[in-house]
Amino acid sequence: MATQRGADKTICPSEVARNLFAGNWRGQMQNVRDVAIQLQNKDQIQILQKGKIIGPENIKGPIRIRINTEKNTQQKPKNK
Protein backbone atom coordinates (compact mmCIF):
# COMPACT_ATOMS: atom_id res chain seq x y z
CA MET A 1 0.00 0.00 0.00
CA ALA A 2 2.77 2.43 0.88
CA THR A 3 4.58 1.65 -2.36
CA GLN A 4 1.43 2.34 -4.36
CA ARG A 5 1.01 5.70 -2.69
CA GLY A 6 4.60 6.81 -3.39
CA ALA A 7 7.96 7.07 -1.68
CA ASP A 8 7.33 10.35 0.13
CA LYS A 9 3.75 9.56 1.13
CA THR A 10 2.58 7.91 4.34
CA ILE A 11 -0.18 5.51 5.25
CA CYS A 12 -2.03 4.90 8.47
CA PRO A 13 -1.81 1.41 10.00
CA SER A 14 -5.62 1.37 10.11
CA GLU A 15 -5.65 1.58 6.29
CA VAL A 16 -3.60 -1.62 6.17
CA ALA A 17 -5.81 -3.34 8.74
CA ARG A 18 -9.00 -2.34 6.91
CA ASN A 19 -7.60 -3.55 3.60
CA LEU A 20 -6.48 -6.93 4.98
CA PHE A 21 -9.11 -7.62 7.65
CA ALA A 22 -12.26 -5.77 6.59
CA GLY A 23 -14.63 -7.34 9.12
CA ASN A 24 -12.27 -7.36 12.10
CA TRP A 25 -9.75 -4.64 11.33
CA ARG A 26 -9.78 -3.11 14.82
CA GLY A 27 -8.87 -6.46 16.33
CA GLN A 28 -5.83 -6.63 14.06
CA MET A 29 -4.38 -3.19 14.75
CA GLN A 30 -1.75 -4.40 17.21
CA ASN A 31 -0.64 -7.07 14.74
CA VAL A 32 -0.30 -4.44 12.01
CA ARG A 33 1.73 -2.21 14.35
CA ASP A 34 3.92 -5.17 15.34
CA VAL A 35 4.68 -5.95 11.70
CA ALA A 36 5.44 -2.26 11.09
CA ILE A 37 7.97 -2.35 13.93
CA GLN A 38 9.58 -5.48 12.46
CA LEU A 39 9.83 -3.79 9.06
CA GLN A 40 11.32 -0.66 10.62
CA ASN A 41 13.90 -2.80 12.42
CA LYS A 42 14.86 -4.17 8.98
CA ASP A 43 15.11 -0.59 7.60
CA GLN A 44 12.31 -1.25 5.11
CA ILE A 45 9.90 1.36 6.44
CA GLN A 46 9.90 4.34 8.77
CA ILE A 47 7.39 5.00 11.53
CA LEU A 48 6.46 8.64 12.01
CA GLN A 49 4.58 10.68 14.58
CA LYS A 50 3.79 14.33 13.93
CA GLY A 51 5.97 14.12 10.80
CA LYS A 52 9.10 12.93 12.64
CA ILE A 53 10.67 9.49 12.50
CA ILE A 54 10.43 7.72 15.84
CA GLY A 55 11.79 4.50 17.24
CA PRO A 56 9.43 1.72 18.32
CA GLU A 57 10.11 2.43 21.98
CA ASN A 58 8.60 5.91 21.56
CA ILE A 59 5.30 4.95 19.94
CA LYS A 60 2.41 6.55 21.82
CA GLY A 61 -0.77 7.30 19.94
CA PRO A 62 -1.33 7.61 16.19
CA ILE A 63 1.48 6.76 13.80
CA ARG A 64 2.08 6.93 10.07
CA ILE A 65 4.19 4.59 7.95
CA ARG A 66 6.29 5.28 4.87
CA ILE A 67 8.70 3.32 2.71
CA ASN A 68 12.34 3.83 3.66
CA THR A 69 14.13 5.21 0.61
CA GLU A 70 17.62 6.57 0.04
CA LYS A 71 16.08 10.04 0.02
CA ASN A 72 14.79 9.74 3.57
CA THR A 73 17.42 7.45 5.14
CA GLN A 74 19.43 10.46 6.30
CA GLN A 75 16.87 11.02 9.05
CA LYS A 76 17.19 8.92 12.17
CA PRO A 77 14.46 8.01 14.67
CA LYS A 78 14.00 10.66 17.33
CA ASN A 79 14.12 9.49 20.92
CA LYS A 80 12.09 11.44 23.45
10-38 pLDDT, tens digit per residue, is 999 999 999 999 899 999 999 999 999 99
Supply the pTM of this predicted model: 0.79
Q: Please tell me whether residue 55 adopts helix, strand or coil conformation.
A: coil
Treating both helix axes as pointing N-terminal to C-terminal, what angle do 29-41 and 13-20 enclose, rounded to 10 degrees? 120
Whether the CB-CB separation of 53 and 71 falls below 8 Å is answered with no
CATH value of 2-72 in 1.20.1090.10, 1.10.10.10, 3.40.50.300, 1.10.287.1400: 1.10.10.10
Q: Please tell me whether residue 35 adopts helix, strand or coil conformation.
A: helix
Give CA–CA dist 76/28, Å, rounded.
28
Q: What is the mean pLDDT of the chain?
A: 86
- Compute CA 39 distance to the chain's CA centroid, rounded to the nearest angstrom: 8
The domains of the chain are located at 2-72
